[in-house]
Amino acid sequence: MSNYEGLRRRQSSLATYSVPTPAMFTGDFSEIAATTTIYDPITKLPFPSNKIPADRLDPVSLKFLKYYNSSTLLGLTNN
The tens digit of pLDDT for each residue in 48-78 reads 999 999 999 999 999 998 888 877 788 777 7
The answer to whether the CB of 65 falls within 8 A of the CB of 7 is no
pLDDT digits (tens, 9 = 90+) for 32-50: 888 889 999 999 999 999 9
The pTM score is 0.68
Under the banding of pLDDT at 50, 70 and 90, the label for residue 15 is confident
pLDDT at 16 over 80: no
Scanning 10-76, the segments in alpha helix (DSSP H) are 22-25, 59-64
Q: Tell me which amino acid residue 76 is.
A: L
Q: Where are the domains of the chain?
A: 27-67
Contacts 24+ apart (CB under 8 A), 63-70: 65/25, 68/19, 68/20, 68/25, 69/19, 70/19, 70/20, 70/21, 70/22, 70/25
Give me the mean pLDDT over the 16-27 stretch: 86
The answer to whether the CB of 18 falls within 8 A of the CB of 77 is yes
